[in-house]
Amino acid sequence: GDSVTQMEGPVTLSEEAFLTINCTYTATGYPSLFWYVQYPGEGLQLLLKATKADDKGSNKGFEATYRKETTSFHLEKGSVQVSDSAVYFCALSDHTGRRALTFGSGTRLQVQP
Amino acid sequence: DVKVTQSSRYLVKRTGEKVFLECVQDMDHENMFWYRQDPGLGLRLIYFSYDVKMKEKGDIPEGYSVSREKKERFSLILESASTNQTSMYLCASSKSGTGKNYGYTFGSGTRLTVV
């Protein structure tokens, strides 16, 4: 079945550092890929998405590129802020008719001032 | 602003109680979902529904049931709560056919503690 693997956290960075959170997936066909963010005490919010190979999703300074050859969708940001501290989830939606997203285990990011 | 509203942010229930978690969306979405979130395990799908009175089991349906009598409301039912059902429960919705391209809208979650 489909699966998503994320790097384990927590990831601790200083403000203005470069961020990478790795995400790889296993799926049949051509899934759509998503990054969600969960701030403390809140539900998940869609951060960015990509629906086909080589697409780049971007939002709020975060970027991720859909790499079919490496089955990856790594999240990056050039300069993190304290306000980026949250849990980040990678997810996929397959195209075989199942109507639910498959999520990774989440990566907690802590940004220190 | 579009919303998915979960009726309670925090709940404490006793072992053996029947527990109802309510979720309402105001976006006229066909699809609704219940996930539970546990540290290190991410989100796991319990049940989902793609139409009124329709439901499908997710990955971990045991010990749960659902009800979808109206399009906007999707209820999760713990028939006899147990301590291993202590978790964060997240409801989500999506427009039919768009979830794979536009993702879901999530509620704020209900943190359930079973004692």
pLDDT of the residue at B1: 64
pLDDT of the residue at A95: 66
pLDDT of the residue at A101: 87
pLDDT of the residue at B40: 83
pLDDT of the residue at A97: 52
Quote the minimal CA–CA distance from B19 to chain A in Å: 21
pLDDT of the residue at B99: 60
Per-position b or e across A63-81, b if 16+ CB within 10 A of its CB: bbbbeeeebbbbbebeebe
| Residue A38 predicted with pLDDT over 70 | yes
B-chain CB neighbours of A99 within 8 Å are: 31, 48, 50, 56, 94, 99
B-chain CB neighbours of A37 within 8 Å are: none
Q: Give chain B's mean pLDDT.
A: 92
pLDDT of the residue at A96: 57
Quote the minimal CA–CA distance from B16 to chain A in Å: 27
Q: What is the pLDDT of residues B3-41, one digit of tens each?
A: 999 989 999 999 999 999 999 999 899 899 999 999 888
Laid out side by side, the sheet with A56-59 consists of A19-21, A75-77, A62-65, A56-59
pLDDT of the residue at B100: 62
